[in-house]
């Protein structure tokens, strides 16, 4: 089964760019998330963390 998929994928021209695009999207998302976590205001984090308990 894997040989069939591998041979089929190798026959598609220009497919080698898709792993690079997905890596860039993945990396960008987590860098942005990391930046947001360290720049978020502590009051906002505390308020949002208490929302499930306020019900």
- Convert the pLDDT of each residue in 1-13 to its tens digit: 677 777 777 788 8
What kind and span of H or E run contains 28? helix 17-39
**What global pTM score does this model have?**
0.60
CA–CA dist 24, 45 (Å, integer) = 28
Domains identified in the chain, total number: 1
Tokens coding 40: 């978020």
The answer to whether 32 and 26 have CB atoms below 8 angstroms apart is no
pLDDT of residue 22: 95
pLDDT of residue 34: 95
pLDDT of residue 1: 65
CA–CA dist 10, 8 (Å, integer) = 6
Torsion of CA 46, 50, 51, 52, to 10 degrees: 140
Task: Please give the residue range of the domain that contains residue 40.
Answer: 2-53
- Convert the pLDDT of each residue in 13-54 to its tens digit: 888 898 899 999 999 999 999 999 999 999 988 998 898 887
């Amino acid at each position: 089964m894997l040989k069939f998929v591998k041979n089929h994928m190798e026959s598609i021209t220009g497919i080698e760019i898709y792993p690079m695009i997905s890596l860039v999207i993945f990396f960008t998302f987590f860098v942005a998330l990391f930046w947001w976590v360290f720049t978020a205001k502590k009051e906002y984090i505390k308020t949002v963390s208490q929302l499930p308990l306020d019900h």
